[in-house]
Amino acid sequence: MTHDLSPLGRVLRSSTTEFVVGCQDLARVPTFGSFVKVQAHDGVWVYGAAYNVLIDDDPFVRQIIGNPHIPREVALDQKENRQTPIEVEVLVLGYARDGLVHQYLPPQPPATLSDVYPCTASEVTAFTGQLSYLRTILFTPQIPADELLAANVREAYLRRGGDREFLVEAGREAARLLKDEYDRLKAILSRIRPSLFRSSTPEPARRRGVT
Amino acid sequence: MRDRQRIGTVIQGSLLEGLTAKLEPSASVESMRVGNFVVIEGQKKQFFSLITDVALGATNEQVLLDPPAGADDFANAVLAGTSTFGTVKIAPMLMLDAEPSLEDQGLRPVKTVPSHFSPVYEADEDDFLRVFQEDTVSGVERVGKKKFFEIGKPLNMEVPVCMDLERFVERSNGIFGKSGTGKSFLARLMLSGIIKSRAAVNLVFDMHSEYGWETQSEETGHFVKGLRQLFGPQVLSYTLDPESARNRNVQPDGVVVIGLNQIQVEDVALLQEELNLTSTAVESSYLLVDRYRDRWLQQLLNMDAETLRDFARESGAHPEAMAALKRKLDMIGRLGFVKEHVDDSVIDEIVRSIESGRHVILEFGQYNNPREYILVANIITRRIHDLYRQKTERYQQTKKPEDRPRQLMITIEEAHKFLNPVAARQTIFGTIAREMRKYFVTLLVIDQRPSGIDTEVLSQIGTKITALLNDEKDIEAVFTGVGGGGRLKALLAALDPRQQALVLGYAVPMPVEVRTRTYDEAFYRAMGHRERDEQRREAEKARTELFGE
């Protein structure tokens, strides 16, 4: 697989089910629910969705937080050139090897300091050709699963070029998974329905000019 | 693999109760229709089946309690096929080995069910052709050319549904439907097919004078041709009422007169209900027969009060009953077609025509009420019954093919008057319906009230062609003697009132709903009919081909 975008950051910590990306630049932090990938070992690209961003303080911030007049350069520095990394928690959804997508956990987690890339539109389209990964999102404990699923599906929808059929299929997959939890299903459906995208508010992904 | 539309997946069921299939999300429950012909691809066998019920299901009660808001297409699209789904009940009818093998038995009645999750497909044209034209049902071997007749087309396809006419005429058959659903058109269609294919000779007791000559269609108001017109001299038209024939400007081939000497007690007994006769009165008539033989009715009608009393005293009959009998039978003497004494010439002529393979339609003209109809039909049929019994016995003795009697089909309308539980035991029609199959005579009963027919007779009816029926009892009656018939009931009540019929029984491999063939110019042509100027043109063409310009 090619990665025509520069890395977002590097792996800070990792496990089989999730990894944490350390980013320096807030502007390049992956948005909630978006797809990222990282090479684990030979030819295995681990795919995941960003589900939490943690912007930690550093001793310097603690010292000046009470200052009524913080210089603009200092505030900007906190965004673009931080001393402590922004931590992005990523849920592992599957992996690709030799162009084949597998929607289950990879054999090995990525090593620390591996480069983490955003996924291209064609990678997202290929990965979301199957939807069994939605199950991983829905049934992972202690994450905002429903919100993550909705954000991820919205993201995939836009990067697939506004494919309504995809939304319906994703909704159906959710309906199958949540057959006993109609209330949850309803909440998810209300967060991914096509009418959301007709509003004038641009979605983050669209702002980035990705189709 | 053929690109048949997959509509669902078998999820449960049994051979007795039928199968349940869950519909594919892509298959709209609204396009599933009771009666649709579907094919289930099992692992080893194909099952040709009918949809007998359509239902809605949901995985979760809550969905039903809190349905998505009215205009939410998206939620509906998502839920359809997942949380909410359609199911269909399927009755498997025939099965076929998927892999042709040496012991391949062709289409057979089902004896098992397909395995779990077998795919269900909408039948395509090939499936229809396979079932309704191939002659492989239940391994019955038949010699000679088969006589298939297109009775119509399936509701959603342009392929012919064919009936095996030779099988059809082998047993008694029924055409049912409430009034105005096109029973007489169906009958005309079947009769045409039988005449054209020479599967049997027909004798039609035409109560409303609608089969022989032109009649007006109730539906379109156009005039449609009668069988006498379509098939020319192969069909003979007799009438009881020459005046009516004259008024309609038709030329009957003969006029039927009945002599009092031809009427037997059995004929009168049949009219018991119509004439409101007591059983004592019927029994007393046997006393008359004992004394006067075939002149009993003539004598009775000529008796005055005194002779009647004398006769009663001498014979031990109840005088009041005798008087009542005379009073009620006086009506017979007054009928226009009844004479004091008639030798059997006209009836003989009819019987001879039938023997020689010509079809006979007997019109009743003004005498179109059940009393006269039953009387005449019974008298004539009794003669034919005797004749066929003799002929069959001779055939059984000689076993020569030329002695084999021609298959005869007798068409009767208002059949419940002849074949109700009381009459069926007394009339010749009851006998024919029950046992005359062996003597090469069968009935085509046309009726709007099948529940009035004796169940023993109903269960002997081979093929049933049924237009719409609403009455629960009538629907029940149609399925008498049909295995698993209960499941098909919904089909019958869901038929359109026009040009649709359910065909089931002996002459078709499995029950099928059809749009019946239209009885129009194209049909006349298919039956070989040509208008006069066309005949002339064809003759002209043949002449120039032979002799040049």
Which residues 6+ apart lie within 8 Å of A126 measured at CB?
A96, A101
Instruction: Assess whether pLDDT exceeds 60 at residue B314.
Output: yes
More confident residue, A124 or B537: A124
B3 pLDDT exceeds 90? no
Give tens-digit pLDDT for A168-204.
Answer: 999 999 988 988 888 898 899 888 888 877 754 444 4
Q: Dump pLDDT digits (tens) for B419-435.
A: 888 777 777 788 888 77
Inter-residue contact A79 to A1 (CB < 8 Å) = no
Token look-up 């269900």 returns B120
Q: Is A195 in contact with B74 (Cβ distance < 8 A)? A: yes
* A168·B83 Cβ contact <8 A: no
Mutate to test the interface with A, among B24, B61, B62, B74 (most CBs of A within 10 A): B74
CA distances from B510 to B49, B95, B375, B522 (A): 8, 11, 37, 27
Locate all alpha helices (DSSP H) within B303-344, ordered by sequence.
305-315, 319-334
Give the per-residue pLDDT at A152.
94
The band of A58, judged by pLDDT with boundaries at 50, 70 and 90, is: confident
Residue at B492: amino acid letter? L
Smallest Cβ–Cβ distance between B62 and the set A174, A182, A193 belongs to: A182
Distance, in angstroms, between B62 CA and closest chain A CA?
Answer: 7
Strand partners, B316: none
Percent of chain B with pLDDT over 70: 94
Q: Are A193 and B75 in contact (CB < 8 Å)?
A: yes
Tell me what pLDDT residue A206 has. Answer: 45
Which region among A82-96, A109-123, B462-476 has the lowest average model confidence (pLDDT)? Answer: B462-476
**pLDDT tens per residue, range B26-49:** 888 888 888 888 999 988 888 988
Strand ranges, E, within A110-149: 115-118
CB contact under 8 A, B74 and A194: yes
| Chain B residues with beta carbon closer than 8 angstroms to that of A168 | 74, 77-78
The residue ranking higher by pLDDT, B99 or A146, is: A146
- Candidates B450, B468, B467; CA nearest to B459 is B450
Is B63–A194 a contact, with Cβ atoms under 8 angstroms apart? no
pLDDT digits (tens, 9 = 90+) for B445-494: 898 888 888 888 888 888 889 888 888 888 888 887 776 677 788 788 77
Per-residue pLDDT band at A207 (split at 50, 70, 90): very low
The confidence score (pLDDT) of residue A210 equals 44
Q: How far apart are the first and last CA of chain B?
A: 56
Distance from C-alpha of B112 to C-alpha of B118, rounded to nearest angstrom: 13
Yes or no: say if B47 and B100 are a contact pair by the CB < 8 Å rule: no
pLDDT confidence bin for B246, thresholds 50/70/90: confident
Enumerate chain B positions whose Cβ falls within 8 A of a Cβ in A.
25, 59-60, 62-63, 66, 68, 72, 74-75, 77-79, 81-83
- Residue B173 tokens read as 């058959």
User: Do B60 and A182 count as a contact with CB atoms less than 8 A apart?
Assistant: yes
DSSP string, B12-29: EEETTTEEEEEEPTTS-G
Nearest C-alpha neighbor of A93 from the set A132, A145, A123: A132
**Residues B502-517, mean pLDDT to the nearest whole number:** 85
In which band, very low, low, confident or very high, does the pLDDT at B137 lie, cut at 50, 70 and 90?
very low
Q: What is the pLDDT of residue A209?
A: 44
Residues of B in contact with A171 (CB under 8 A): 74-75, 77-78
Q: Is the pLDDT of residue B146 over 70?
A: no
Paired residues of A95 in beta bridges: A46, A102
CA-based nearest residue in chain A for residue B58:
A179
Distance from CA of A162 to the nearest CA of B (A): 14
Most confident of A43-52, B268-277, B462-471, B516-525: A43-52
pLDDT value for A46? 95
Site of tokens 């002996």: B506
Task: Name, in order, each residue with C-beta under 8 angstroms of B306's C-beta and a sequence gap of 6 or more.
Answer: none
Count of beta carbons in the 10 Å neighbourhood of residue A165: 9
For A187, nearest residue in chain B (alpha carbons): B75
Give contacts of B81 with chain A, Cβ < 8 Å.
172
**What is the separation of C-alpha B133 from the centre of its chain, rounded to a whole number of angstroms?**
20
CB B77 to CB A171 under 8 A? yes
Nearest to A171 among B60, B66, B78 (CB): B78
Q: Are the CB atoms for A19 and A4 separated by under 8 Å?
A: no
What's the confidence (pLDDT) of residue A137? 93
pLDDT at A39: 92
- This prediction has a pTM of 0.75
What average pLDDT is seen over chain A? 86
Q: B78 vs A182: CB contact, 8 Å cut-off?
A: no
Interface test with B, best of A131, A168, A177 (most B CBs within 10 A): A168
Domain B167-256+342-510 has CATH 3.40.50.300: yes
Residue B138 has pLDDT above 70, yes or no: no
For A31-67, letters b (16+ CB in 10 Å) and e give bbbbbbbbbbeeebbbbbbbbebebeeeeebeeeeee
Mean pLDDT of all residues in chain B? 82
Q: What is the distance between the alpha carbons of residues B50 and B491, in angstroms, rounded to a whole number?
A: 10
ipTM: 0.77
**pLDDT score for B28:** 82
Neighbours of B111 (CB within 10 A): 9
* pLDDT higher than 70, residue B524: yes
Which residue in the block uniquely carries the two structure tokens 């579907």?
B38
Dihedral sign, Cα of residue A181, residue A184, residue A188, residue A190? positive
